[in-house]
Structure 1
Amino acid sequence: MTLGPAATTGEIVTFLRTLRNDENIAGMGRFGIETDNALGISNPVMQKIARQVKKNPARALELWETGIREARMLALYTLDPKTLDAATARRLAGDFASWEIVDAAADLFVAARLEDLIPEFAADAREFVRRTAFSMIASAAVHLKKEPDGLILGYLVLVEAHAQDERNFVRKAVNWALRNIGKRSRNCHGPALALAQKLATGADKTARWTGKDAVRELTSEKVLERLKD
């Protein structure tokens, strides 16, 4: 069966089910991916399917509502960042239950220029919604190249505010955001490293882990050499 832009939600889901791979499902579980509704299809395959069916926001939201892991990844790949609004992003975020979905959505939200949602998501107590904020920061630091460094440096306040969140998927995203800010440019490196050093010597063990790990990368020869360019 070949899928094209006219494929319906039902046709796509039927096709996805033919690609189920139980061995891959087990492997995903070992990487902390939520597999209760997974079919075990790799993301490169999903991205190929997305190119075949093209962007279709209405159909993408129908795919999301199926709850199937692969259908939701395909939904994120086929939503249009040019038309995605904050209300829809909030709706999606309310369903987040896996770091993999969060990180794919974060790239989409940044492409849609929904960074105004970052403080809101950071303040949300739900683990995967808060992770979304810091995944968005990590993505923005890399992809919003034309924006002033000051915009990205402003997120250090959120990094410091939530560096004590010990939940695994939050602390890793906070760490990721801090490291990406520091690697963005020479202007960003100093303030990010200063915060990392502050966290590394603080009283909270989670913040210390975040700080020490960020210091290690931001003072590495590889990073320092790249920032000379």
Structure 2
Amino acid sequence: MPKAMSLSQVMKLLESQGDEKVRQRYVRDGVVDNVFGVLLGKIRGLAATLGTNHGLGLELWGTGNHDARILACMLLEPAALTEKEARGLLEPLSNPTLVDELVGRVLVHAPVAPRLQGKWMDGRKELPRRAGWKLLAGRIARGLEKELDVGATLERIERELPDAPYRVKEGINFCLVWIGLHLPAYTSEASAIGERLGRWDPRPIPKGCTSSYAPEWIAAALALRKGEKTEARKAMDAAAKAKAPRGEGKPAVAKAKVASARKKSAAKNPSARTRAR
């Protein structure tokens, strides 16, 4: 059963769970101030304890605290949001992480989503434009865009992505990949558009992550569905194995066999055990 807590109680709990290293990481990612640095897993646990609570969610959002707003995204009731309220939550934001959380956890499920989506995609502000494209992607994945002209959308993606601001590029590319993954009839076309657009993201790919290059992202996600690995992933795994120190990554069974053999050898040669001491 959900637990009732006041705003002040929740804020005190969040503050007590803050971690300075996590906070500094958030700051590096652009969360300039008003952040405790609570691990996402702890926020999820608190959300599960509180349950859906739209009123408390709005209060948490109103604090301006980053951790509180992430929690709010897990408590808000999408059906209860008016278009004005939804715009009031998202449009003042300056952090893409919060934009993505609000869109992915709340707005994609909201009845007002179609109107917001069109308004934001056609606008000029960077993060709302990102939100519009992410909203479209999320609705495609959930089968909510029954009347979408996919061909025209793909043409728009290819036309707009090259000159879009970076954070909008991310949103448009995300939508391209989601079309390729969730609309099988357009998978090949989405990959082909990605090839023509090229590698627009200059950032290095973090270890263990998938490239944002649409053809590779689509291929990796489809392979994962089948329980397979792409050639790129196989090459990365092989390179990591080659760099590993000798003996590291040895299967647990092999390690156990080696340990067992050593014990048997020691049992047959007591003097060796004595020397070892």
TM-score range, shorter chain: 0.7 to 0.9
Alignment of 1:151-166 (within 5 A): 151=148, 153=150, 155-156=153-154, 158-166=156-164
- Indicate conservation of the 8 Å contact 1:55/1:78, yes or no: yes
Question: How far apart in 2 are the matches of 1:152 and 1:141?
Answer: 11
Consecutive aligned runs of 4 or more in structure 1 exceeding 4 Å deviation: 224-227
How much does 1:198 deviate? 4.7
Name the counterpart of 1:46.
43
Name the counterpart of 2:215.
215
Higher relative contact order (Cα pairs below 8 Å, separated by 6+ residues): 1
Are 1:76 and 2:73 an aligned pair? yes
How much does 1:98 deviate? 1.2
* Alignment: residue pair count: 213
Residues 1-35 of structure 1: per-residue CA shift (max 9 Å, x gap): xxx632111221122111121111112234x2414
Q: Which of 6, 9, 28 lines up with 1:8 in the alignment?
A: 6
Name the counterpart of 1:128.
127
Question: How far apart in 2 are the matches of 1:152 and 1:17?
Answer: 47
- Indicate conservation of the 8 Å contact 2:27/2:33, yes or no: no
Q: Compute the TM-score of the two structures, normalised by the length of structure 2.
A: 0.67
Residues 178-206 of structure 1: per-residue CA shift (max 9 Å, x gap): 11111113223244235435544xxxx95
Q: Structure 2: which 5+ residue stretches go unaligned?
A: 202-211, 227-277
Bigger CA drift: 107-116 or 67-76?
107-116
Question: How far apart in 2 are the matches of 1:146 and 1:105?
Answer: 18
How much does 1:91 deviate? 0.8
Question: How far apart in 1 are the matches of 2:143 and 2:86?
Answer: 23
- Shift of the 118–160 alpha-carbon distance from structure 1 to 2, 3 Å rule, reads farther
Larger radius of gyration: 2
Query: What is the letter of the counterpart of residue 174 of structure 1?
Result: I
- Shift of the 118–19 alpha-carbon distance from structure 1 to 2, 3 Å rule, reads same
- Indicate conservation of the 8 Å contact 1:121/1:133, yes or no: yes
Question: How far apart in 1 are the matches of 2:197 and 2:167?
Answer: 18
Q: Compute the TM-score of the two structures, normalised by the length of structure 1.
A: 0.79
**Kindly, what percent of the aligned residue pairs are identical?**
23
- Indicate conservation of the 8 Å contact 1:60/1:76, yes or no: yes
Q: Structure 1: which 5+ residue stretches go unaligned?
A: none
Are 1:141 and 2:140 an aligned pair? yes
| Aligned-partner SS, 1:116 | helix
